[in-house]
Structure 1
Amino acid sequence: MKTISFRLGVFASKIVLVALVLCSGAIATCNASSSGTCRAAQPAANGIAYGDDSSERIVPLKEVDVKPEFPGGRKAMSEYAKKHFAGDSIKDKAKCPFYVHVRFVVEKDGSVTGARLVENYSEKIENAVLGMLMSMPRWTPGQKDGEVVRTGYGTWVGVPEYIADSYTKPEFVGGVELLLKYLAVELKKYDISQYRGKPVRVLARFVVDTDGSIDDVEIVKPGRKLMNDAVVAVLKGMPKWKPGTIDGKPVRVRYTLPVRFGKD
């Protein structure tokens, strides 16, 4: 995916660390060139979104045997959302979304009802997200005990940044320079830091959660196993960050971080 924010580099024990903020996945992706903040309906008392007026029970997602699915799966849903928000005139602005938590019901016929945002955001964001959710094609419904059931569903929806009135990116406490120094120092603790062979780039991804903690660390493009393990261990051990916000409310943000071992 195209890089749209910033690039940073540092040399340390033959390791080149380049920090890139990229759009990806389904959470909140930061844009380093942005500044500002965002606001989104309170969850129902039982935490389940109700659909139409049917009195038939909504089965929580964790209780179904077969989960409901968007046509083509999660990746297809992400692509659908991006196309819905883009449009011909603002296509370029739809490349780097932040993500909001939503809940809705997948009915027995696959239609989506009762869509809502878990937190309060601006009316502009809420209308955009709900409009997208309610325009989705029919899903494959969930099943329990061999029967099709109404299913409560929750997920993260990517939203183009231009829809938000204000947005602030997450930040490693102390800034980018300290982040790169931290990574360089921590990676030196692993034997692989002295690697002198052909340059190898390990592409990792992680989430800065709403409390600043690091979550969902994964290797997107692997190098050697020892390199992968070292990168994952260092990222998981990072101290809490200052979380990103939309209208003053913390949001989850996904970072993609290339770590390069060796020199050209």
Structure 2
Amino acid sequence: MKKLIFSSLIAVLVLSFCQNKAMAQVEDNTVYNFVSMENPPSYPGGIASFYKFLGDNIKYPQQAKDDNVQGNVYVSFTVEKDGSLNDIKVNRKLGGGTDEEAVRVLKLSKRWNPGMQNGKVVRVKYNIPIKFSIPGKKPNPKVAKPFDGSTQPVNENTVYSFVSMENPPSYPGGIANFYKFMGENVKYPKAAIDNKTEGIVSLSFVVEKDGSISDIKAERKLGSGTDEEAIRVLKLSKKWNPGLLNGQPVKVKYNIPVQFKLPK
């Protein structure tokens, strides 16, 4: 009888161990969304360095030049636990060879700093727009790609999400110029230096129809004065190019990460 009880206990412990191991493996493979992360993935040197890498490596496809195809290719990918990029997909296409070019260059990316959740390295899904623009040329409306909801009536007071826009707001000169402006103007708060505070402040704001910025909020805070500093500098921003819907300027909510990193 004692042998039977002991054997049953061992079987329960083995089963429990296997279940816990299986649960750990499931958790281990979870792909998190970068907007919900405590410490989202980051490109070495920051997002401005990432867009510089893209600018240095993208070759404008000849077909896109010939057809005057301009706009954003919206791409998603997974930053693996070792920082490599996987599962690269085009979520909204532009055409003319731009989609394939965006994917090609992303595959050349150096490894990212992986995302962290609860002190552990995790897999994270990341979304980015990659802009294709021909200097001195306006986009040809005849080759503009339609999107679901593009024919909806424009409501003057609606605040649209930038991820749903065919022509989202843009900073003059592109997103790399925006992060250059942020880098040149952000002053690392003394409290953050003393506390060795590093990480991401996630901001949201509304780009108004005239390109001005309003309703700035720190959606995810970092503390030690970094949140207030990110907002202060954002208020200094020049006017953006407003988002367009059916050819009309509209109000658009925009989200950006602002990275604070102490020099080593």
Bucket of the pairwise TM-score, normalised by the shorter protein: 0.3 to 0.5
Point out the structure with the larger helix share: 2
Higher relative contact order (CA 8 A, sep 6+): 1
What is the TM-score normalised by the length of structure 2? 0.40
What is the TM-score normalised by the length of structure 1? 0.40
Point out the structure with the larger strand share: 1
